[in-house]
Amino acid sequence: MEATEIRRLVALEDTHWWYRERRAILRRELRGLRPGRALDIGAAGGGNTRVLVEDGWDATATDFSEVAVQVARERGLKCLLADARDLPVAPGSFDLVTAFDVLEHIDEDYLVTEQIAKALRPGGRTLIAVPCDMALWSAHDEAVGHVRRYCRESLTAVVEKGGLQVERLWSWNVLLRPLVARHRRRSTGSDLAETPALVNTALSAVVMLERHLPVTSLKGVTLFLRARKPS
């Protein structure tokens, strides 16, 4: 992701409906896990890293961008400048690894899942999020540096190739998929932009409704996956 996109994301993520609900998903996934050491790959400005810290984790952010690392450190977070394909961490040193919107940026995505497995202790877990369905490919994907969008089979395959066992795989942003698809067909660049307050509130209400509906097996805009390193 370009430096300008990272700065734009950081400016938006505290209030934007998309990022707020994704942080809520992370918080729900942390329930029942004993806080330990966590690594947040591709952390950008560290929005998800802050969730980990607030939940009691000893969390370290990593990013390939010097701008992202600088922003994360300005926020008081531990951060490493690192390539996700070659993480400078000790094997088996983390209890949890998160990678939101990382794999789709990298040609050799299997190297990233191998590095995640290497970083995790036996029994440790990872939480991954990626954009789904090439039918939604648009100028936005090109503007933010995506290489691909995933289907359930391709995401499962690359995670298992890395040596991890999939525990759960589900869709997110299902209810708003038709609206997103329509918007993406007209897009000429990145979608990262400030949303008017009333629109932001309305979209937040819709996406939060998914928490209570059985829609996670349907097609959405994002795929979430939770996996475990074998003991």
The total domain count for the chain is 1
**pLDDT value at residue 2:** 60
Render each residue's pLDDT in the chain as its tens digit; 231 residues. 566 767 777 778 888 999 999 999 999 999 989 999 999 999 988 999 999 999 999 999 999 989 889 889 989 999 999 999 999 999 999 999 999 999 999 999 999 999 999 999 999 999 999 999 999 999 989 988 999 999 999 999 999 999 999 999 999 999 999 999 998 888 776 776 678 999 999 999 999 999 999 999 999 999 999 999 999
Q: Which helix (H) or strand (E) holds 114?
A: helix 109-119
CA angle (150, 225, 229) in 5-degree steps: 120
Q: In this structure, how many other beta carbons lie within 10 angstroms of the beta carbon of residue 57? A: 23
Strand extents, DSSP E, the chain:
37-41, 58-63, 78-81, 94-100, 120-131, 165-172, 222-228
**pTM score, two decimals?**
0.93
Q: What is the CATH number of the domain that holds 89?
A: 3.40.50.150
Q: What is the DSSP letter of 1?
A: -
Output helix, strand, coil percentages for the chain, rounded to the nearest 5: 45, 25, 35
Give the structural domain span for 77. 3-228
- CA separation for the pair 67, 181 (Å, rounded): 31
